Amino acid sequence: MDGILKRFEKKALTLEVNKELYQKEAILFAAHKFINRCFITIEPSSEKYINVLFRPKDENLQLDDFALEFCNELLDQQVRLNIEKSYGNIRELIVKQAFCPIENIQNEIKI
C-alpha cells in the first residue's frame, strides 16, 4: 500500500494517506463511499499526511479487509481525478452542444 500507513486501535482504523500521492478530493470521495459502514473523520496529521479515522458501525467488520478495500477505492478515485483533468472541458461541451449548439466547437475546446 504505497503512500498509506495503517494503524489499528480500540476497534478503529486509522489510515495515514500521503498527500503527495493522493489529492484531498480523492480521499474525500473514497471515504464518502464507506459512510454506510463506518463513522469517518478526516484531518491533517502532518505536512505530508492526512489521517482518515474509521470507526465501524458494526463491530464485526473485518478492518484488515476494509483497509485493503479503501486503498483500492482511493486509487480509483485518484485515477478518476487524473483522467477528469485530461478531459479539460470536453464533458461540458458535449452537454452544451446537445442542448444549445455551439457555433465553433474547435475554438471552445480547452484540453
DSSP state for residue 68 in the 8-state scheme? H
Closest CA to 53 of 33, 74, 38, 36: 38
Query: Does residue number 18 form part of the binding site for other proteins (CB under 8 A)?
Result: no
* Distance between CA atoms of residues 22 and 52, nearest Å: 13
Residue of 12, 42, 53, 93 that binds other proteins (CB under 8 A):
93
Residue 7 grid coordinates: 494503524
Task: State yes or no: residue 79 binds other proteins (CB under 8 A).
Answer: yes
- Range in contact with other proteins (rule: CB under 8 A) among 15-23, 28-36, 43-51, 60-68: 28-36
Beta strands in the chain, from DSSP E residues, in sequence order? 4-9, 12-18, 38-44, 49-56
Q: Is residue 94 near other proteins by the rule CB under 8 A?
A: yes
Footprint of other proteins (CB under 8 A): 29, 32-36, 72, 76-77, 79-80, 82-83, 86-87, 90-91, 93-99, 101, 105-106, 109, 111
